């Protein structure tokens, strides 16, 4: 995949991007245009050499996601009431409960899905924003992979919201036991959505600018 592998014919050739060749490519269907065309004639997508204000948008969504993540951790996610007691549990509290019950596997899944992945996503997107156009520890291939992983895995954080939905629909046994969702479910869902939007508004082509050698 590196440029070195392309040295088949014996003469090393530099790889060329559409921008470097003076073209604008449709980032939806890949069709290549001379500049100054407005929308793609094939798919109707707006043509931009690089997504406009990509970094600003990403930063804005990232901050929104971070802000929404705070109440998601402070307020209760689940309100459990049984005959004897009422209990409110936050995200982390739920994980601790699971560990006390000996359900280590599930505790691990929930912990990864609702703590490790969101925080990892914030860090990864922040790193990608800072690393654009600079020489950083990670090369373009690694950063591209990072963005791809963030985009792929981001949706899976929603799992927590669905667990809460199913639990509160399922456990409705009048006085014996009921589970109801807490307000943190909303802010957690918002946080996931905002981070997904942050990852989507990051134009991966920016990662590769200045890396025409393929490094």
Partner 1 sequence: MAVSRIALDALFGIQVVASTQLPFVYGTPNGYSSQYCGVIGRSCNAAGWRRLERRDDPPRKDIHGLTASVVETGLVACPKCDLLHKEPAMAENCTLSCVRCGAVLAAPRRDAFTRVLVLALTAMILMIAAVYFPFLDLKVAGLNNHTSVLDAILAFSSGLLLPLSFAVAALIVLIPSIRFAAIAYTLWPLVLRRRPFRYARTVFRLAETLRPWAMAEIFIVGVAVALVKVAGLATISVGPAFWAFCALVIVAALHDNFMCRRTIWKSLEQSRQ
| Range 40-79, binding partner 1 (CB under 8 A) | 41-45, 49
The alpha carbon dihedral of 127, 133, 138, 144 has a sign of positive
Q: How far apart are CA 47 and CA 73, in angstroms?
A: 40
- Sketch the per residue contact string, 98 through 127, with partner 1: x for CB under 8 A, - otherwise: x--x-x-xx--xx-----------------
**Which one, 30 or 119, has the nearer CB to partner 1?**
30
Q: Quick check: 29 binds partner 1 (CB under 8 A)? A: yes
Query: Is there a contact between 123 and 135 (Cβ–Cβ < 8 Å)?
Result: no
Least distance in angstroms from the C-beta of 72 to partner 1: 12
**Span interacting with partner 1, options 51-59, 64-72, 120-128, 189-197, rule CB under 8 A:** 189-197
Of 48, 63, 71, 151, the one binding partner 1 by CB under 8 A: 151
Token output for 51:
């997504």
Q: How far apart are CA 56 and CA 202, in angstroms?
A: 9
Q: Quick check: 142 binds partner 1 (CB under 8 A)? A: no
Q: Quick check: 132 binds partner 1 (CB under 8 A)? A: no
Least distance in angstroms from the C-beta of 4 to partner 1: 10
Q: Which of 148, 205, 214 lies closest to 1, judged by CA? A: 214
Q: Write the burial class of residue 70 (CB in 10 Å: 0-12 exposed, 13-18 middle, 19+ buried).
A: exposed
**Which one, 66 or 197, has the nearer CB to partner 1?**
197
User: What are the two backbone dihedrals, phi and then psi, of residue 187, each rounded to the nearest 5 degrees?
Assistant: -70, -30
**Which one, 93 or 204, has the nearer CB to partner 1?**
204
């Amino acid at each position: 995949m590196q440029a070195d592998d392309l040295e088949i014919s014996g003469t090393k050739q530099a790889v060329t991007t559409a921008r470097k060749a003076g073209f604008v490519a449709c980032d939806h269907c890949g069709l290549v245009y001379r500049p100054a065309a407005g929308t793609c004639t094939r798919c109707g997508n707006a043509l931009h050499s690089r997504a406009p204000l990509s970094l600003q948008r990403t930063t804005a969504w990232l901050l929104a996601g971070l802000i929404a993540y705070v109440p998601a951790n402070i307020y209760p996610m689940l309100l459990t009431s049984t005959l004897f007691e009422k209990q409110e549990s936050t995200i982390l509290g739920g994980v601790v409960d699971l560990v006390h019950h000996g359900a280590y596997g599930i505790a691990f899944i929930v912990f990864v899905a609702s703590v490790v992945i969101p925080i990892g996503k914030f860090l990864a997107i922040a790193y990608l924003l800072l690393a654009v156009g600079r020489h950083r520890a990670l090369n373009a291939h690694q950063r591209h992979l990072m963005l791809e992983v963030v985009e792929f895995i981001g949706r899976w954080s929603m799992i927590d919201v669905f667990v809460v939905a199913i639990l509160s629909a399922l456990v409705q046994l009048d006085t014996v036991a009921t589970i109801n969702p807490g307000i943190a479910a909303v802010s957690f869902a918002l946080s996931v959505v905002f981070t997904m939007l942050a990852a989507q508004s990051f134009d991966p082509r920016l990662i590769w600018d200045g890396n025409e050698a393929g490094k």
